[in-house]
Amino acid sequence: MTSLIRGGIIVTAEQTYRADVLCAEGKIAAIGKDLEAPSGCDIIDAGGQYVMPGGIDPHTHMQLPFMGTVASEDFYTGTAAALAGGTTSIIDFVIPDPEQSILDAYRTWREWSQKSAADYGFHVAITWWDESVHEEMGTLVREEGINSFKHFMAYKGAIMATDEIMYNSFTRALELGAMPTVHAENGELVFQLQKKLLAEGMTGPEAHPLSRPPAAEGEAANRALRFAETIGVPLYIVHVSTSEAVEELKRARAEGQRAYGEVLAGHLLIDESVYQNPDWDKAAAHVMSPPFRAPEHQEALWKGLQGGALQTTATDHCCFCADQKAMGRDDFTLIPNGTAGVEDRMSVLWHHGVGTGRLTMNEFVAATSANAARIFNIYPKKGCIAVGSDADIVIWDPAAGKTISAKTHHQNIDTNIFEGMRVKGLASHTLTRGALAYVDGDLRAVRGAGEYVKRPAFHASFDALAIQAAANKEKPVDRG
Ligand code: URP
Ligand code: ZN
Ligand code: ZN
């Protein structure tokens, strides 16, 4: 399949310039002024629009079994919705049960993800530890293209990673050239506060943010960063939601640590007042962890993104419908945690980022695509408009607008946290490896068309280890 995108303005993380883009066999084959269309080639008119790398959402949970239920969005519906919003790749999470082989869990998720309409990769969570986990981390990195391992510092009694697990796993990740990532919340503190609030009779969603104060996130971010510093491994903190965690990242980076932070579109734009909604269903629909925060945190997150403490934007797309949320009607700790957004992230960030002058267009591409590709080592295959890159492209109409609503979205969930938000700037066309998957409201996602993307280990780490090992073997030289 060959297509020529004609007349648009290319926007990458580095450059903005007018050129045509020729896509052939899934790749970008040529970029230039007034390219000639090969015979039989589809012509896509991008006049007046921007041609950008398709979005990469580095944090989704399609069909996740979690808190006694299963997320309602599967790999097909979720990636199709992503394509409708201009996102062409996701990185989802394999979350093994404690004691489950991490390799078996990975195979299960690979099976589930066969139906994806867009490309995808996986982070693998380390929820327990023994020698087999140590071994299988190696197999995942060397044979399966996994280069990041997730640690939930919260969810005590379920999937929480203790300090001991983190120490072992971070150390192993360093050996393998892989990146540890953390959900930074102090799980013990959350657990104790949940018990206290329930004992005081606070059972509704308004107790959820009280059980997960900003300090619990700040402490965990600091602890994870100090572990990473001591062990000498990079660290990526998912869904940073507080000024406390942003400050920890700034400090670590200023001290030379390779530390990265991700922010969710929801945390940038929604505040904790949603938990005060007297309509239980509406309040419960916003129960996710970390929770939505007071407005001053949103300001800190925007500044973190603008100032470089935070590099990526994600959604933590994890859908639970009203009947699932109702599992926690009498006890807020039983409300399945999760909200959606994979379809809306790009337009919401364009409108509130580029549209307000907080982000340049190039910074938008960095924050929605290129930085995730770089950090997770799939650049320039993804996250880039360059000859040889995958033809994962969004054609962006800056003049188009819509009002976001659960009534019209493609996501398989009955609410939308951005309900009623008017956004200007939308995907008009989305191409996944050269195939048109979305054209002006017409979603053409193909079940199973998505490919698993292997992510190589970080060779820099391998090189550093090799140099270190060689240095250790060398006899001290007597220079006297
Ligand atoms: O509430 C959330 N975020 N649910 C998904 C699991 C996680 O913590 O990322
Ligand atoms: Zn999390
Ligand atoms: Zn998550």
Domains along the chain?
Answer: 1-480 (3.20.20.140)
Distances (CA, A) of 176 to 179, 236, 350, 468: 9, 16, 37, 14
CB 181 within 8 A of CB 123: yes
* Cβ count near 369 (within 10 Å): 33
pLDDT tens-digit readout, 75-104: 999 999 999 999 999 999 999 999 999 999
11-31 pLDDT, tens digit each: 999 999 999 999 999 999 999
In whole angstroms, how far apart are CA 469 and each of 88, 229, 386, 393? 40, 19, 37, 42
In this structure, the dihedral spanned by the alpha carbons of residues 339, 342, 343 and 349, taken in order and rounded to 10 degrees, is 100
Containing 42, the helix (H) or strand (E) segment is strand 42-45
Nearest protein CA to atom 2 of ligand 1, as residue: 338
Task: Supply the DSSP symbol for 339.
Answer: B
Angle at the Cα of 262 (from 423 to 305), degrees rounded to 5?
65
What's the pLDDT score for residue 480? 47
Cα 253 to averaged position of ligand 3 atoms, centre (Å)? 24
- Which of 316, 317, 334, 413 for mutating ligand 1's site (highest number of atoms within 8 Å of CB)? 316
pLDDT digits (tens, 9 = 90+) for 308-367: 999 999 999 999 999 999 999 999 999 999 999 999 999 999 999 999 999 999 999 999
Burial level of 157, CB count in 10 A (0-12/13-18/19+)?
exposed
Residue pair 425/361 in contact by the 8 Å Cβ criterion: no
**5 residue type, one letter:** I
CB of residue 288 inside a 6 A radius of ligand 1: yes
Residue 245 pLDDT exceeds 80: yes
Helices (H), 262-379: 265-269, 280-284, 295-307, 322-325, 345-349, 361-365, 371-375
- Determine contact, residues 450/117, Cβ cutoff 8 Å: yes
What residue's CA is closest to ligand 1, atom 8?
289
What's the pTM value of the predicted model, to 2 decimals? 0.96
Closest CA to 66 of 104, 95, 91, 100: 95
Residue 468 Cα to ligand 2 midpoint, Å, equals 34
Taking the CA of residue 152 as reference, the ligand 1 atom at the shortest distance is 8
Six-digit token string for 265: 């579109």
Predicted confidence at residue 471, as pLDDT, reads: 66
Q: Are strands 422-432 and 65-66 parallel, antiparallel or unpaired?
A: unpaired
Decide: 153 in ligand 1 pocket, CB within 6 A. Answer: no
* Cα 240 to ligand 3 centroid, rounded to whole Å: 11
